[in-house]
């Protein structure tokens, strides 16, 4: 593996386009807080698989357009090189590129809207990173969440952009106690893998496996915490009695997956007290997910990864020193993983 | 009084459990921004009286469980000793312990939820104190408000936790001009005392008297401003024509009571211009209360003490120097009262 | 012009009342981020014209009362003299004074409410300026937006203040594709000028011309960017297919006008890349306007200038250095224009 990485490093340095490709691949990897071009490549492969399987190739195209659009905009605006290279200006654009064609119908205006949104995500990333660095925390996926919320709410008032699967603004339906589901092994494995794949708004078991594999390439700990986070989320969601269909399709899992990776492996070094802290943060993320699911209903938008951002910020802000912070906070206030 | 305090001080230092009890009693006192174990003890007595009188002993038990759970969690996480001893990691847990059994039905899951919420309140306290200390302000009860809002909104989506008295998400009813009430002396005295007792979500006149007495033990100024704040809130609420039933049951009084104590006695020293400033802040708190009552309706939650937090932050942030700040900002960014 | 300014400068210094008048006129000018008493005088003239033309003289009186009330309160509280003189404590009061009689029926209580709100706006300005200066950004009109939102939401619960034109809390109506309007030259010119006049919540073509003239007195660049911002907003709004009636009455233009002035001329010096950045920010403001129009509906309030504040903060926070910041950040964290 080290040899391949070394070979890759020499190859990308030899020509400028290589550096740009590398920045984009790392941008894809940063969605799960990794800084590894191969991980990013596999993430893109998983997105492509999931999108094509669902008959929505525009989602995969959107991911690529958003990623390159954001990285290109960052180059034009002139951000610092190390942050650009580690993908910190690409991941929000990729997620916007996945989210917009998922929730809106693809038409020419959508693509203009998507590229504009990707460019704005760079400005919002710079803005939030500037705010966040005062407390030594990272922007996480908040630039994606804020930008996409604005882009999606606005479409409720636009006739030029049509809604595909966005909920209408309304009040929550009170849940009724569901009859006990067939919680067999297959149900559990599917739900766990979908929890991982939904990080990219993809509901596909194979994509979930690819994403886990991509994490293994970068960090075995990250993969382990992702898997454990998805499992823990299912246990908690069943214990409190949430909508079973949402649990089965991974919708309660993706934010806890990200929280588990972030608290357990990226900002702290794994050790017993960190594990307790990460478990607590992951459980709290499930509750925040349920709360935000209700809170966003009047606005006709999905929560996106806001539960991850809110819970993880609350658990990073105390800056507990029970574990040395392994990762360097970059100039943009966001994380590096060298 | 000084002798008793001295005796108490020697007693608690002599054994470790004593220190823990002291931290908890001060935690109770910090709900009204005091740092006095006897005040805390009387607050707990008032809660117990009010809860038992209303046939809801689980509220008093919840207060104790939340308080001890939060203080214990803070000890486990490892916060600095002076802040722990002055009760800064207990008061949010106590309030969560009062609020959850007030709004949700008591079942085994509720108690698990309550203890978890109390533990999370410590993390949120550390997080917000870290944010707030950049501007020299204190977290006030914001960790309680944020944590409890999340815990309560989420229950609209849980079948395992059932709602007791939480409003359903909806839009406000337009108020109709009520017929003039019998605003006799008894009505006013009741409303003023209920305004004080509702700081702990207790609607009981005797509890209001106990809480005022508890304040006198710690600071005669605090008691005076609490009383004046409750009275002023009633006058303002009647002048603008709000829901009379809410005024009569103290629901427009508890946030102004806290604002009056905070601005008038805790963060500034009483003097003429401070009194004008505190009056302005207290009046504004009544308007913020009315505004947030409407604003939280789509989410099916109560305002809790958010009006106090928002108004007091806005009035503390300017850091006017027309009076020296008497209270030291602690390492946790929250207040001490030595 | 220089001679008149010089003459004015000597006149106002000669007596204390002159300084107060100057502070108020500059306060009016700061609504569009200018620091010029003649500009302020013309703004007041435009407001008076628009208010009287619409048969609502109380709006013009409110503007004056709010402006003087806020500047007077700032003098009483004791703010620093340079900020006071450049109008930084007046503009939020003026806007509150325009907004309240626009949305609420004029009765004696309204005037008490208006003066109180103007006084609170000074506290909120000091609070937000204290928050904002940590990142070198200005408060913009956020004190006005926050204070007025609170004052307006609260009135949904007051019988003493009656609503004139505030929307009832509700969910958005899904827009239907409108039939093509007669987009002739007159329609466009009217819409562009109304976009400028709506900065003061005035829908009057002549007022729009007066406001543009007032900008020319202070800065030809500011006038040019205001005009361009209003035109660009119309193009973007038509392209995405928003409510044509709102576009025609300038409701999609006023926030973009302010964004264009702020990004293009106040905080950066005009040059090619700044123009690109300002265009991007102005387009984004239109999308934020559409999003917030939907987002505030459950609360029964208008967006006011929140889209301008949110978009401009996001575009100022990155503190791009492709252009030197010409304007000094004052002690209050807000802008001077010397």
**Dihedral class, residue A140 (left if φ above 0, else alpha if ψ from -120 to 50, else beta):** left
Q: What's the pLDDT at B176? A: 60
Crossing angle for the helix pair C37-53 and C2-13, to the nearest 10 degrees: 90
Check: CB of residue C186 under 8 Å from CB of residue C317: no
Q: Is pLDDT at B336 greater than 90 in this prediction?
A: no
Nearest CB partner across the interface for C130, out of B283, B318, B322? B318
- Chain A environment of B119 (Cβ under 8 Å): 280
Q: What is the pLDDT of residue A12?
A: 64
Give the model confidence (pLDDT) of C316-329 as tens digits.
999 766 544 444 33
Return the pLDDT at B329.
Answer: 35
Grade residue B6 by pLDDT with cuts at 50, 70 and 90. Answer: confident
- CB of C180 within 8 Å of a chain A CB? The answer is no
Q: What is the pLDDT confidence band of residue C207, given thresholds at 50, 70 and 90?
A: very high
Predicted local confidence at residue B175, as pLDDT: 64
**C320 close to A (CB below 8 A):** yes
The pLDDT tens digits of the residues spanning B41-78 come to 999 999 999 999 999 999 999 999 999 999 999 998 88
Greater model confidence, B34 or A180: B34
Structure tokens at C322: 């492709």
Tell me whether A126 touches chain C (CB under 8 Å).
yes
Above 90 in pLDDT, residue B302? yes
What share of chain C has pLDDT > 90, as a percent?
A: 78
- Residue A201 in tokens: 């708004």
Work out the percent of chain C whose per-residue pLDDT is above 70: 88
How much is the ipTM here?
0.91
CA–CA separation, A228 and A192 (whole Å): 9
**Which of B130, B156, B299 comes nearest A318 by C-beta?**
B130
* Cα–Cα dist A216/A229, whole Å: 15
Phi, psi torsion values for C15, nearest 5 degrees: -145, 150
Burial C287-305 (b: 16+ CB within 10 A, else e): bbbbbbbbbbbbbbbbbbb
Please give the mean pLDDT across all residues of chain B: 90
Mutate one of B318, B319, B320, B321 to test the C interface: name it (highest C CB count within 10 A): B318
Average pLDDT, chain C: 90
Domains of chain C: 15-166 (1.10.3430.10), 172-320 (1.10.3430.10)
pLDDT given at position A325: 41
Chain A contact for C235, CB < 8 A? no
The per-residue pLDDT for range B201-248, each reduced to its tens digit, is 999 999 999 999 999 999 999 999 999 999 999 999 999 999 899 999
Q: What are the chain C neighbours of A151 within 8 Å (beta carbons)?
A: 287, 291
A322: left (phi over 0), alpha (psi -120 to 50) or beta: alpha
What is the model's pLDDT at position C141?
Answer: 98
User: Which one has a higher pLDDT value, B71 or C172?
Assistant: B71
As given in the structure block, the two tokens for residue A173 are: 């339906």
HEC assignment per residue over C249-289: CCCCCHHHHHHHHHHHHHCCCCCHHHHHHHHHHHHHHHHHH
Residue A77: predicted pLDDT: 87
3-class SS shares of chain A: helix, strand, coil, % to 5: 70, 0, 30
Confidence of residue B323 (pLDDT cuts 50, 70, 90): very low
What's the pLDDT score for residue A326?
Answer: 41
Extract the tokens encoding B315. 């009035």
pLDDT at A275: 92
pLDDT band at B174 (very low <50, low <70, confident <90, very high): low
**Interface check B172 vs C, CB under 8 A:** yes
pLDDT level of residue B271 (50, 70, 90 thresholds): confident
* Per-residue confidence (pLDDT) for residue B12, from 0 to 100: 64
CB contact under 8 A, B128 and A317: yes
* Cβ proximity of B99 and B68 under 8 Å: no
Q: Which residues contact B3 (CB under 8 A, 6 or more apart)?
A: none
**DSSP 8-state assignment for residue B8:** H
Q: Does A294 touch chain B (CB under 8 A)?
A: yes
pLDDT in tens, chain A (338 residues): 566 667 667 666 666 788 999 999 999 999 999 999 999 999 999 999 999 999 999 999 999 999 999 999 999 888 999 999 999 999 999 999 999 999 999 999 999 999 999 999 999 999 999 999 888 899 999 999 999 999 999 999 999 999 999 988 999 876 665 556 667 889 999 999 999 999 999 999 999 999 999 999 999 999 999 999 999 999 999 999 998 999 999 999 999 999 999 999 988 877 888 899 999 999 999 999 999 999 999 999 999 999 999 999 999 999 766 544 444 333 333 333 33
Residue-wise pLDDT for B148-157, tens only, equals: 999 999 999 9
Is A298 within 8 Å of C171 when comparing Cβ atoms? yes
Q: For position C42, what pLDDT does the model report?
A: 98
- pLDDT(B183) > 90: no
Q: Do B157 and A172 touch (CB under 8 A)?
A: yes
3-state helix, strand, coil in chain C (%, to 5): 70, 0, 30
Q: How far apart, in whole angstroms, are the C-alpha atoms of residue A310 and residue A296?
A: 14
pTM given for the model: 0.92
pLDDT value for A45: 98
């Amino acid at each position: 593996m080290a040899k391949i990485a070394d070979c890759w490093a020499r190859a990308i340095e030899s020509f400028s386009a290589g550096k740009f490709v590398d920045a984009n691949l790392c941008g894809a990897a940063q969605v799960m807080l990794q800084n590894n071009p191969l991980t990013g490549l596999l993430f893109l492969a998983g997105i492509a698989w999931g999108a094509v399987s669902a008959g929505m190739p525009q989602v995969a195209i959107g991911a690529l357009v958003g990623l390159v659009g954001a990285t290109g905009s960052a180059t034009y605006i002139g951000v610092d090189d190390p942050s650009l290279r580690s993908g910190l200006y690409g991941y929000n654009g990729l997620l916007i590129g996945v989210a917009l064609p998922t929730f809106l119908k693809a038409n020419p205006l959508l693509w203009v809207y998507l590229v504009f949104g990707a460019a704005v995500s760079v400005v919002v990333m710079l803005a939030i990173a500037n705010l966040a660095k005062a407390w030594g925390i990272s922007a996480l996926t908040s630039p994606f969440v804020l930008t996409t919320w604005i882009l999606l709410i606005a479409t409720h008032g636009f006739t030029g952009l049509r809604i595909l699967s966005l909920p209408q603004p309304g009040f929550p339906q009170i849940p009724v106690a569901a009859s006990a589901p067939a919680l067999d092994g297959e149900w559990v494995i599917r739900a766990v893998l979908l929890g991982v794949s939904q990080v990219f708004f993809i509901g596909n078991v194979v994509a979930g496996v690819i994403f886990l594999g991509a994490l293994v390439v970068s960090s075995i700990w990250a993969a382990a915490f992702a898997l454990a986070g998805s499992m823990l989320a299912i246990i908690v969601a069943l214990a409190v009695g949430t909508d079973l269909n949402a649990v089965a399709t991974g919708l309660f899992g993706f934010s806890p997956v990200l929280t588990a990776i972030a608290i357990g492996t990226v900002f702290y070094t794994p050790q017993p007290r960190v594990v307790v802290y990460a478990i607590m943060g992951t459980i709290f993320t499930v509750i925040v997910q349920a709360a935000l699911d209700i809170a966003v209903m009047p606005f006709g938008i999905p929560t996106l990864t806001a539960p991850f951002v809110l819970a993880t910020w609350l658990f990073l802000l105390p800056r507990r020193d029970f574990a040395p912070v392994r990762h360097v906070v970059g100039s943009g206030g966001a994380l590096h993983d060298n």
